Chain A
Amino acid sequence: MIRGIRGLASLFLTGSLGATAALGADSDITIKTFQFKPTPIEVKAGTRVTWANADDITHTVTSGTPGSRDGRFNTPLAGKGATFSFTFPEAGTYAYFCDRHQSMRGVIYVK
């Protein structure tokens, strides 16, 4: 029950809006100080997005939200320098989060 309340509460603790990245072929997201930056970003369909961990701790890049994982990707980035890339072939709104620190959220708008 406590975990459920934590998860519910964390929904209300996020929501910072970062800069919107320019449309392009590739896009990079840095994980630093327990934040995905930038977020949200907007990219064209077919763009390969790469996440790079700049924190000295394991984060994950997990698709969906803690309460609704969509199974597209769930990759641990074990420490500083670890990267993960994913190509988004279709338009849509793609949420992702860190499974170890579930208040860390991001969104990618694919046009």
Chain B
Amino acid sequence: MNTQWIRLSGGAVIVALFGVGCSMSPAMTHSMPGPTARAATSATAAADLRTGLNALLGEHVMLAAAATNAALGGRQAEFAAAAAALDANSVDIARAIGSVYGAGAEQAFLPLWRRHIGFFVDYTVGVATKDKPKQDRAVNDLVGYTQDFGAFLASANPNLPKAVVADLVKTHVLTLKDVVDAQAAGNHPKAYMALRGAAGHMAMIADPLAEAIVKQFSSKYAAQ
């Protein structure tokens, strides 16, 4: 393990995450490039919303795991590419939020979302450098972040209780942490099984989020 590179990569990923520009189309369901794009399974706006959120959040986990795996393996070019793609995904998720709640919410959401990625960078660096206090701080930050994220969505949508959202995001944090731990241990079967679990869990966030939005704006998302 190239621990010096890992130490630097903590900063590098932040630069990459904040440095990537926005070039996605405004329509969320049209903003999924490449192989992760999924066709809507229904012609309704509600179905588009649900499939779009599932695709975006599932992609988030896959790209995050790709970034941490590359970082832990010392593959700098791959890591930079994964981090850039991960940030493009973050921008798309924020745009999805903005498409429902407006530009102000989009601008507020993006740094909040990026924050948890930064904490995961901290955790990954802590794992790579075997720095237990750093790992513990990152986990504490991530757990604290779940309350912020829950509060954001609860504020935007009264159908999303803060505690429920926070708990779902906590599971996201813990399942992705399992991926990073298995990657760091070189346990590939465990890492990929954990990744399946982590990616699958995102439906537990995307589905209720979509349902809550549809309930909040029922006329907008009425069956067509």
A19-59 vs B, Cβ < 8 Å mask (1 yes, 0 no): 00000000000001111010000000000000000111100
Which residues in A have some Cβ–Cβ distance to B below 8 Å?
1-2, 5-6, 9-10, 12-14, 16, 18, 32-35, 37, 54-57, 100-101, 103-104
Report if B193 contacts A (CB, 8 A). no
Contact present for B14 and A33 (CB under 8 Å): no
Residues of B near A100 (CB, < 8 A) are 148
Contact present for A13 and B105 (CB under 8 Å): no
Contact present for A16 and B104 (CB under 8 Å): yes
Give the interface centre of A5, A37, A100 by most chain B CB atoms within 10 Å.
A5
Contact present for B11 and A103 (CB under 8 Å): no
Which residues in B have some Cβ–Cβ distance to A below 8 Å?
10-11, 14-15, 18-19, 101, 103-105, 107-112, 118, 121-122, 147-148, 150-152, 154-156, 162
Contact present for B155 and A54 (CB under 8 Å): yes
Rounded to whole angstroms, the CA-CA distance of A6 and B18 in the bound complex is 8
Rounded to whole angstroms, the CA-CA distance of A101 and B152 in the bound complex is 11
Residues of A near B18 (CB, < 8 A) are 5-6, 9, 12-13
